[in-house]
Amino acid sequence: MKQRLLVAAIGVPLLLAVLLLAPAWATALLAAALAAVGCYELMRAAGGTEWKMLCFMPVFAFVNTLAFADTWDTGEFDGALIFVSVVLVFTAAVITHGRERSVSFATAMAAVFSGVLLPAAFACLALLREASAALALTPFIGAFMSDTGAFFAGRAFGKHKLAPAVSPHKTVEGSIGGFAGSVIGMLVFHFAARAAVRLDIGVFAAVLLGLAGSLLGQIGDLSFSVIKREFGIKDYGHLFLEHGGVLDRFDSVLFVAPAYYLILTLLFN
């Protein structure tokens, strides 16, 4: 418990400082660093020691995140970076095939997923920050308020298991509480942002974001839990001490951030 409180006491103010006070490029760098660590965590979970033969992929995850976040004027080269990442992974698989230590298909897919899709998801945090510092908070509010609502509703009313084979402690009642928590969190954000920085996303958008945030946050949480169950690990890492690794803490945000970027782009462009 002390470690959890220590991580929260340091991590939350640091995250808020980067998102709200630092320049937009700081959010892009943070997103790129998280993507690189997440890439390492997923490859190690899926491939064991095989990931060492693809040890360059966290670097590609870092670079791809900055490119997807429009940190550089890469334009059409974004697709080229994806192509090079995939080609390098399968080149390593071809070269090592048949040897005592080779890159399996599972490890190759983990490398492609973590080197391309994770950066794309993390980059959405930077894209939201580029639009508005306040909007950069929305994926965290939607995801974490859903987690909070689910936790308290599950403890108070939880009786029916939601996905026992994946996460035995999650309940249907907790899931419903997650939707309520996310919607309430986004409504509070709407009124607070309108009063503080004159950012008015509207009540309809706030409710829509709350519902989408809870739905996708819960799917993201369960999705990364499936991976942990399949490969028999408890946590992806220990970067955040008892909170686990990057993918343990940001699994729901990884699904919410792209959705929020797409929804806000469609509604306000």
The pLDDT value recorded for residue 269 is 72
Regarding pTM above 0.85, the answer is: yes
Select from 186, 191, 150 the least CA-distant residue to 264. Answer: 186
The pLDDT value recorded for residue 1 is 55
The partner residues of 171 in beta bridges, in order of sequence, read: 161
The pLDDT value recorded for residue 71 is 64
Structure tokens at 163: 């996905």
The pLDDT value recorded for residue 99 is 85
Alpha-carbon distance values, 255 to 119, 162, 189 (Å): 12, 19, 20
The pLDDT value recorded for residue 8 is 65
**Number of helices and strands (H, E) in the chain?**
11, 2
Cα–Cα–Cα angle for 98, 103, 108, rounded to 5 degrees? 140
Those residues with Cβ within 8 angstroms of residue 136's Cβ, 6 or more apart along the chain or in another chain: 19, 20, 27, 125, 128, 129
The pLDDT value recorded for residue 232 is 87
Identify each DSSP E strand in 124-226 by its residue range.
161-163, 167-171
The partner residues of 163 in beta bridges, in order of sequence, read: 167
The pLDDT value recorded for residue 189 is 96
The pLDDT value recorded for residue 5 is 62
Give me the tens of pLDDT residue by residue for the chain, a chain 269 residues long: 555 666 667 778 888 888 888 999 999 999 999 999 999 999 998 877 888 888 899 999 999 999 898 765 555 666 778 888 889 999 999 999 888 888 888 889 999 999 999 999 999 999 999 999 999 999 999 999 999 999 999 999 989 999 999 988 899 999 999 999 999 999 999 999 999 999 999 999 999 999 999 999 999 999 999 999 988 888 898 887 777 889 999 999 999 999 999 999 998 87
